[in-house]
Copies of this chain bind each other. A is one copy, B any other.
């Protein structure tokens, strides 16, 4: 048996700043019937981890608790009737509805999960980087393809694009034949966004966002806006979007700000403002999920999609990883390698 008797795990006694996280020693979890035990090789950090640590995540476990829901690794012990066998390389599927509260806590050396919530890691992706795939790529795919139905020739604004989901969205948008306007608050990230596939960038710290989008679209506005910011940006998106355009809001970087907008703009432009998260297309519709997983797997294996890793931390550096993730310096995925 590869299974260790004890392992390290990130632990939170009360919510707050990064230094509320401590590493504890605890027993390696024992899989229940139908569950798989996985040795983590790559833990994906997501915005939800920061929100969870602060105690503001909509699906919030009670403290004390573990943290983290995205991880990939190697199967130690498969479930009896599972398709997964010891040695298989696997990653967790996202979705707060199927990541039940007790499944938080994957910032750890080992985790257990129901076999239904695991998927095989694409051959082209290393053990160390395998935690960078499913949350971001499924979120972006579901938004742009399943819910948003992005069409060839459409113009999409990808807001706060240097995040891992924004970068995945750029890749899907280009594969769909759309034109991409990527936004960021950092001048030095503009060039990297162009290198990552964006056709245009808008630095919202120094440029007039709405005016620039209208200029880039000959006054028409963007067909689609994919936004994790919320707050005052919602009203700005309504100004920047085209007649009959759609705005997909998938995050609230401006938490706890509310969004305020002029209803006449929404009405007269026939705008669709849609709330979205990865649960949306993929929790009930397993066929849609399977199709997305296959698209992403083959895209990574055949080099149409390309993981962009910002940085990797050790599990011992988990506090530093959280602090870094809040610094707004990242471009791509932050991983923890146990």
Residues of A within 8 A of B (CB): 58, 230-231, 234-235, 244, 249-252, 255, 258-277, 279-280
Contact = CB atoms under 8 A, between A and B. Distances in A.
Given A252-B264, A262-B258, A263-B259, A274 B270 contact: yes
9 contacts: A250-B267, A255-B264, A258-B261, A259-B261, A259-B266, A265-B275, A267-B276, A271-B275, A273-B274
A263 B56 CA distance: 13
A136 B279 CA distance: 37
The quantity of this chain's copies bound in the complex is 2
Most-contacted residue by chain B among A258, A264, A269 (CB, 10 A): A264
Contacts of A255: 264
Given A230-B263, A258-B260, A271 B274 contact: yes
B234 A264 contact: no
B277 A270 contact: yes
A264 to B, nearest CB: 5
Contacts of A252: 263-264, 267
A62 B279 CA distance: 49
Given A58-B267, A265-B275, A270-B274, 13 more contacts: A58-B264, A230-B263, A231-B263, A244-B280, A251-B267, A252-B263, A266-B275, A267-B277, A268-B275, A269-B275, A270-B275, A272-B274, A273-B273
10 closest Cβ pairs, A-B complex: A266-B275, A267-B275, A230-B263, A260-B260, A273-B273, A270-B280, A252-B263, A258-B260, A272-B274, A271-B275
